[in-house]
Chain A
Amino acid sequence: MDLLFHIGRYFMLMGEVFSKPERLSIYWKRTVEEMDLLGVKSLGIVSLLSLFMGAVITIQTKTNIDSPLIPQYVVGFTARQSTILEFSPTIISLILAGKVGSTIAAEIGSMRVREQIDALDIMGVNSAGYLILPKIIATALINPFLIVISMFLSIFGGWLAGTLTGIISSSSYIQGVQYDFDSYIVVYALIKTVVFAIVIATVSSYQGYYTSGGTREVGISSTKAVVYSDVVILIMNYLLTQMLLL
């Protein structure tokens, strides 16, 4: 029952969010600010994670398939496939849900408990649209860039780890990365990324927007934002994979 209530209220909120904006120029300005806050400021953590994950994938693949029957380039190939198919779009989105989702819920939630959302409503501003729409557009636009950067860095991290430790030669790694490349997997990854971005922005905004109480509740909303975004991302990941790859 509770779940149905939240799903219903979530879609009603989205109805408000996507109703006509008051001033497009103001919404656009807010979107650019959000792209900076939610996207550009996540670049550091995304880069760091990607480099290390790529490195670990490469070393693990190498140690697991260390057989003379399997060609060397398989390591690079595996690093590329797992990075593009799953690691960059899904794992990084889960990480972003933690960082961006909690930021969004905390910001909107504290505006709610400090009557600032009421103030917007009283002015006649569509508070849901004004606060949430720029966040959705910003994450949907900027996350694909973050994920593409993550893909490159992860594959680069694998190369770095492989060549520095000497477990694989640079040329066979690169051969593997280029082997049998089907650009559809990038399309698949980016579709997932955009869907996950929308999940993060909307689920977290929902949690923040319906916060009631005080600062303690803002904390709770923030945690819920991350947990529910993660759960929805995992479910969507399964559904999209079934739809797009089978």
Chain B
Amino acid sequence: MIEVQHLYKSFGTVEVLRDINAKFAKGKVSQIIGKSGSGKSVLAKCIIGLYKPTKGKVLYDGKSFHDMEKDEQRQLRQEIGMLFQSNALFDSLTVLENVLFPLRMFATMSEKEMLERAHFCLKRVKIENSDKKFPAEISGGMQKRVGIARAIAMNPKYLFVDEPNSGLDPQTSIVIDDLIREITDEYNTTTVVITHDMNSVMGIADEIFFINDKQLMWQGTRDQLLKSDNEALNAFIFAGSLMREVRKTIT
């Protein structure tokens, strides 16, 4: 479980996040939603420690990340898998080498076992026969999947995903969403997904966190989401025509 307590974040004098409190449960897909520029990525980066919060704590199974020694933080991070918005695959490495990378860096197994593990992860995301290709030579959807394979290589306890569907067609988006759901169930990870895609929310979210006007404005399940009378939330979730149809059927 990951717990965010009274987290504030400003850049210089510009406040981006104010007093965020949230719990992300183990084995569940928690989705952070909100408009573009509302601070979702900043929140994620504070949680994983790429940014230091201006105030507040982030607890990983009770231990405060930002109070740990650097070595301890690195240790913990080996248990975190992250899929970046831009994939962040290493473009000088092949698909296979990208997945091998964290194993080569940290795993205590033989070369043969590492190769087996990497192939297992690639197979898990349904990528085969692309070992020797470079990231630039495969499609955006495949890059996402390789990113997922790399993120799960070390058997993470925590999985972070930033905008998994941006730049993907609807069909490929569903494939990626399903993978995130399945991996969460299989590995019992604490999964945090950032998105502004309502299809993804309706597809896989267990718990939804709505960031608006620097604050965590609303939190709840999918059912609660559709029935909520929070104005800003409704304006956000029913912005798309498909969701407006959904609304007609529930009211």
Answer yes or no: are A and B bound together in one complex. Answer: yes
Known: A123-B77, A124-B75, A124-B78. A118 touches B84 (CB 8 A): yes
Assembled-state Cα–Cα distance A122/B91 (Å): 17
| Those of A68-125 within 8 Å (CB) of chain B | 111, 114-116, 118-119, 121-125
Question: Does B105 lie within 8 Å of A125, measured CB to CB?
Answer: yes
Contact flags B114-138 to A (C-beta < 8 A → 1, else 0) = 0000000000000000000000000
CB within 8 Å: A-B pair count: 55
A107 smallest CB distance to B (angstroms): 9
Contact flags B74-105 to A (C-beta < 8 A → 1, else 0) = 11111010101110111100000000011011
Q: Does B58 contact A (CB under 8 A)?
A: no
With A23-B104, A116-B89, A122-B80 given, name 4 new contacts (CB 8 A): A23-B105, A26-B104, A116-B88, A124-B80
Question: Does B105 lie within 8 Å of A114, measured CB to CB?
Answer: no
Question: Does B86 lie within 8 Å of A22, measured CB to CB?
Answer: no
Question: Does A123 lie within 8 Å of B88, measured CB to CB?
Answer: no
Assembled-state Cα–Cα distance A115/B50 (Å): 11
A156 smallest CB distance to B (angstroms): 37
Using Cβ atoms and an 8 Å threshold, which residues of chain A touch B75?
A: 124
A214 smallest CB distance to B (angstroms): 11
Using Cβ atoms and an 8 Å threshold, which residues of chain A touch B102?
A: 123
Closest residue of A by beta carbon distance from B86: A115
Contact flags A122-135 to B (C-beta < 8 A → 1, else 0) = 11111000000000
Closest residue of A by beta carbon distance from B83: A119
Assembled-state Cα–Cα distance A78/B80 (Å): 62
Using Cβ atoms and an 8 Å threshold, which residues of chain B touch A23?
A: 104-105
Using Cβ atoms and an 8 Å threshold, which residues of chain B touch A121?
A: 49-50, 77
Closest residue of B by beta carbon distance from A114: B86
Question: Does A22 lie within 8 Å of B85, measured CB to CB?
Answer: no
Assembled-state Cα–Cα distance A118/B50 (Å): 7
Interface centre among A111, A114, A124 (most CB of B within 10 A): A124
Q: Which of these, B78, B84, B104, B154, contacts A119 with CB under 8 Å?
A: B84
Residues of chain B whose beta carbon lies under 8 Å from any beta carbon of chain A: 45, 48-50, 73-78, 80, 82, 84-86, 88-91, 101-102, 104-106, 154, 160
Known: A26-B104, A119-B82. A124 touches B88 (CB 8 A): no
Closest residue of B by beta carbon distance from A116: B88
Question: Does B88 lie within 8 Å of A114, measured CB to CB?
Answer: yes
Q: Which of these, A22, A115, A116, A118, contacts B106 with CB under 8 Å?
A: A22
Known: A22-B106, A26-B105. A115 touches B84 (CB 8 A): yes
Ordered by A's residue number, 28 sampled pairs between the chains whose C-beta atoms are within 8 Å are: A22-B105, A22-B106, A23-B105, A26-B104, A26-B105, A114-B86, A114-B88, A115-B84, A115-B85, A116-B88, A116-B89, A116-B90, A116-B91, A118-B84, A118-B88, A119-B84, A119-B88, A119-B90, A121-B49, A121-B50, A122-B50, A122-B80, A123-B80, A124-B73, A124-B74, A124-B75, A124-B77, A126-B74
Using Cβ atoms and an 8 Å threshold, which residues of chain A touch B45?
A: 118
Using Cβ atoms and an 8 Å threshold, which residues of chain A touch B105?
A: 22-23, 26, 123-125
Known: A116-B90, A118-B50. A124 touches B84 (CB 8 A): no
Using Cβ atoms and an 8 Å threshold, which residues of chain A touch B76?
A: 124
Using Cβ atoms and an 8 Å threshold, which residues of chain A touch B88?
A: 114-116, 118-119
Closest residue of A by beta carbon distance from B147: A119
Closest residue of A by beta carbon distance from B162: A115
Assembled-state Cα–Cα distance A125/B78 (Å): 8
Assembled-state Cα–Cα distance A125/B102 (Å): 8
Assembled-state Cα–Cα distance A23/B102 (Å): 11
Assembled-state Cα–Cα distance A121/B70 (Å): 11
Assembled-state Cα–Cα distance A116/B85 (Å): 11
Assembled-state Cα–Cα distance A111/B84 (Å): 13
Using Cβ atoms and an 8 Å threshold, which residues of chain B touch A115?
A: 84-86, 88
Question: Does A124 lie within 8 Å of B106, measured CB to CB?
Answer: yes
Q: Which 4 A-B pairs have the closest CB atoms?
A: A124-B77, A119-B88, A115-B88, A124-B74
Using Cβ atoms and an 8 Å threshold, which residues of chain A touch B80?
A: 122-124
Closest residue of A by beta carbon distance from B80: A122
B94 smallest CB distance to A (angstroms): 15
Using Cβ atoms and an 8 Å threshold, which residues of chain B touch A26?
A: 104-105
A50 smallest CB distance to B (angstroms): 30
B73 smallest CB distance to A (angstroms): 8
Using Cβ atoms and an 8 Å threshold, which residues of chain A touch B84?
A: 115, 118-119
Interface centre among A22, A23, A115 (most CB of B within 10 A): A115
Assembled-state Cα–Cα distance A118/B162 (Å): 13
